[in-house]
Amino acid sequence: MYNKLLLVGAGGHCRSVIDSINYVQYSDIGIVDLPEMVGKNIFSIPIVGTDEDIESLFEKGYHQAIITLGSVGNPDKRIKLYHKLKLIGFQFPKIIDSTAIVSQISVEMADGVFVGKGVIINTGVKLGTCAIINSGAIIDHDCEIGQFVHIGPGVRMSGGIHIQDNVHVGIGSSMIQSISVGRDSIIGAGSVVVSDIEEGVIAFGIPCRVYHKGNEVAI
Ligand SMILES: CC(C)(COP(=O)(O)OP(=O)(O)OC[C@H]1O[C@@H](n2cnc3c(N)ncnc32)[C@H](O)[C@@H]1OP(=O)(O)O)[C@@H](O)C(=O)NCCC(=O)NCCS
């Protein structure tokens, strides 16, 4: 099969994604990153160009892409890259690590989703475009995760939670059932979220409280 895959961004998240790819699906894999990285390899995968080369790489047959640039709290670059690549015509495969346990019943995953090692996804879960579900997270039944959300390693989510677009849920946080987190918010590491969190805030702690809202420190 002639199926060339481009990874965009060569950092830590890229290495996680490389380790989870099902290689039999691709005839060729290349990475784009900063100019000084061109010619190097990440594991055995070559860095074949920079962001400037993405269009010509598409013409050379790389028609599938994964945005492997990570994000902790600010997904803007991931979002911009996604729209640039989509306009060129790239398709975005889902990468699901072979150790993840994903319910076979009513799970929906949009383009470009990454599901890392040891993740558990229960029935009725919906994952938005380019969402990252990082190592060991548990997403219980009927949770809805928006676009460009990053669910950090080891996060535990009860059933029926709604995480809106662009949210970062920090490593090791726990969330009770049926709550929501508004778009663009950040939940700090190790938080216990027991009520709804509004949009555009930084919140953390046990219980999770808003710390930062716009330019104001709230506590
Ligand atoms: C919440 C977070 C975004 C805040 O970052 P920040 O705005 O740079 O905040 P600061 O580091 O300046 O900390 C401000 C205060 O909040 C406290 N604080 C920060 N994060 C906290 C957390 N998760 N829980 C409790 N307190 C926290 C700090 O100790 C500091 O307190 P102080 O003013 O008494 O010294 C960050 O600490 C965090 O938790 N990021 C998530 C990381 C993550 O998930 N990584 C996974 C990568 S895969």
pTM metric for this prediction:
0.96
The fraction of the chain above a pLDDT of 70, given in percent, is 97
Query: For residue 172, is pLDDT > 80?
Result: yes
Looking at residue 18, its pLDDT comes to 97
Residue pair 64/3 in contact (Cβ under 8 Å)? The answer is: yes
Q: Which two tokens stand for residue 70?
A: 């990570």
How does residue 218 score in pLDDT terms, banded at 50, 70 and 90? low
User: Which pLDDT does position 2 carry in this prediction?
Assistant: 73
Q: What is the DSSP letter of 91?
A: B
Beta partners for residue 202, in sequence order? 186, 212
pLDDT in tens, 103-158: 999 999 999 999 999 999 999 999 999 999 999 999 999 999 999 999 999 999 99
The arithmetic mean of pLDDT across residues 93-99, rounded, is 97
Q: Quick check: CB of 134 below 6 Å from ligand 1?
A: yes
Residues 25-48 have a mean pLDDT of: 96
> Which pLDDT score is estimated for 217?
66
φ, ψ at 39 (rounded to 5°): 100, -20
Q: Are 189 and 173 spatial neighbours (Cβ–Cβ below 8 Å)? A: yes
| Pairing outcome for strands 174-175 and 156-157 | parallel
Residue 112: per-residue pLDDT: 98
Task: In whole angstroms, give the CA distance from residue 38 to residue 46.
Answer: 8
For a ligand 1 pocket test, name from 163, 211, 217 the mutation site with the most ligand atoms within 8 angstroms of its C-beta: 211
Helix (H, G, I), strand (E, B) or coil at 14: helix
CA of 74 to the centre of ligand 1 (A): 14
| Ligand 1 neighbourhood includes 34 CB (under 6 angstroms) | no
From the CA of 189, how far away is ligand 1's center (Å)?
7
What's the rounded mean pLDDT across residues 65-73? Answer: 94
Query: Taking all residues of the chain, what is their mean pLDDT, rounded to a whole number?
Result: 96
**Cβ of residue 46 lying under 6 Å from some atom of ligand 1:** no
**Residue whose CA lies nearest to ligand 1 atom number 46:** 171
Residue 73 CB–ligand 1 contact under 6 Å: yes
Average pLDDT over residues 158-186: 98
pLDDT digits (tens, 9 = 90+) for 11-35: 999 999 999 999 989 999 999 999 9
Mean pLDDT computed over 192-208: 98
- Return phi, psi of residue 193, to 5°: -95, 115
Residue 157: both structure tokens together: 């989510």
More confident residue, 153 or 219: 153
User: Which run of H or E residues covers position 76?
Assistant: helix 76-88
pLDDT value at 219 more than 60: no
Assign 182 a pLDDT band (cuts: 50, 70, 90): very high
Count CA atoms closer than 13 A to 167's CA, side-chain side: 28
